[in-house]
Amino acid sequence: MSELVLVLDFGGQYKELIAGTVRGLSVYSEIKPGNITVDEILQLKPIGIILTGGPNSVYLPDSPKCDPKIFSLGIPILGICYGMHLMCHTLGGKVASGDKGEYGRVTVTPKNASKLFGSRKESFTALMSHKDCVKRLPKGFRETAKTSVCTAACEDKAKKLYAVQFHPETKHTKGGKKIIRRFLYDICGASGNYKLDDYIKTQIKQIQKKVGNENVLLALSGGVDSSVCAGLLSKAIPGQLACIFVDHGLMRLNEGDEIERVFSKEKLSFIRVNAKDRFLAKLSGVADPETKRKIIGEEFIRVFEEEAAKLGNIPYLAQGTIYPDVVESGGKHGAVIKSHHNVGGLPEGLDFTAVVEPLSRLFKDEVRVMGKKLGLPSSIVYRQPFPGPGLAIRVIGEVTEEKLNLLRKADAILREELDRIKNRPDQYFCVLTNTRSVGVKGDDRTYDYVIAVRAVKTDDFMTCEYAPLPHKLLDRISSRITAEIPSVSRVVYDITSKPPATVEWE
């Protein structure tokens, strides 16, 4: 049994990053609501607790709180940002709005010796995001780091209570991961017994016990989650898994063929449904992005329902649900097929005994590692994020086969160029805008499509910054797209971050 660290959520955007960082340090973590009861905590027997950040002011009556008794359990606790405010406010300190907030990278200076900072005495940069600050520490606490504006860290060593105003879980905090490591190993006494290999073995046994000799059905999109789910199931129950791959004709260049090539070799029944014409007919004349999504979702369900019915009664439905899906749904998962895998819901006409979700305790990076351990190719495991509606929402305006083919070629050129560089952005793709532009090719005046290139850097895909690609690289991408695709006259680069923009255009 792996040691457990609980991450109590108070609405912070980095809760999954915190829990994922803990797991990356070989300690198992789970995210729970901030108002979890003491009895529930004691039943879980955590070796440590981390309180997340959050957008609220802790001194307001309707702000999220925790049971004050958790601070007297003797379990080591680390409060981060709002978690620090909550700890200090609950234990008798004073938290109030500061004279000025701190946002972005801020210089932090260690003040007194602390296990959190080890022997570190020099100042370092850390990510701050706060207006409120601790004005008076609770009895028994001492300041262990500061900025020019506020107390940056404090602790009550005797009660094993530690807190930081900054975010050590982000890459913007220098040495932040080491701070979390010290909390886990030097303060909580972790042994580091969480290993993904053990998780795989455990899941295989659980799948075999649950399914027995029965068959399982999986809607395989070719995305990372459903692909790794298929790989794990084919290893656990070889010959008992049927995968329906609905090819809606909205995928990237040669992607459908690659998915078929990979999974046709696995010990499963692979069924590819070529439904391009059906989807294009439904999308004819439709320009509104939300209408596109709805049409694609509904049509997917119809195709999946028809193909599943041909297979007869299969008692188990498998889904590539991962841990963030569980967290965001409040744990109420398993009732519907995930929207970004299967863009709809569970077909009403199909009767399943139970749902199999072997990845539901894993984060995305863990799913990728598992995929490699299961022998899936890097092209699948490290596949660029791709929306369920596919290229339909990267073609602005009406979707036609001509536009799709044009966009596939441009996108393939972009990915080929960016795949060559060392420090690749986290996500990159092309958008076919609904704009035509005057151009010159040879001696002829042209009036052709404008392609937009999007490349972003992000930790969590909830926010992002545009990637500052070198001008020489952008020049090469533009030259290739306009030279190799006759109907494109212009290439533009999207330099908008999120917010105010989203990653996708539609």
Enumerate the active-site residues. 81, 167, 169
Q: What gap in Å lies between CA 76 and CA 158, rounded to an integer?
A: 10
Contacts with 109 (C-beta within 8 Å, 6 or more apart), sequence order:
123, 145, 146, 147, 152
Q: Which runs of consecutive H residues, i.e. helices, occur in 91-175? A: none
Strands 77-80 and 161-164: parallel
Amino acid, res. 95: V
237 close to 230: Cβ distance less than 8 angstroms: no
Short-list 403, 397, 402, 386, CA closest to 454: 386
What is the rounded CA–CA span in Å between residue 123 and residue 63? 33
Cβ-based neighbour number of residue 305 at 10 Å: 15
Contacting residues for 493 by C-beta, under 8 A, at least 6 apart: 452, 453, 455, 469, 474
Those residues whose C-beta lies under 8 Å from the C-beta of residue 463, and which sit 6 or more positions away, are 13, 497, 498, 499
Distance between CA atoms of 286 and 240, rounded to whole angstroms? 40
Buried b (16+ CB within 10 A) or exposed e, 362-373: bbbebbbbbbeb
Q: How many CB atoms lie within 10 A of CB 351?
A: 10
Residue pair 58/83 in contact by the 8 Å Cβ criterion: no
Q: How far apart are CA 116 and CA 74, in angstroms?
A: 17
Compute the Cα dihedral for 491, 496, 501, 503 and give only its sign: positive
The secondary structure element, H or E, covering residue 428 is strand 427-441
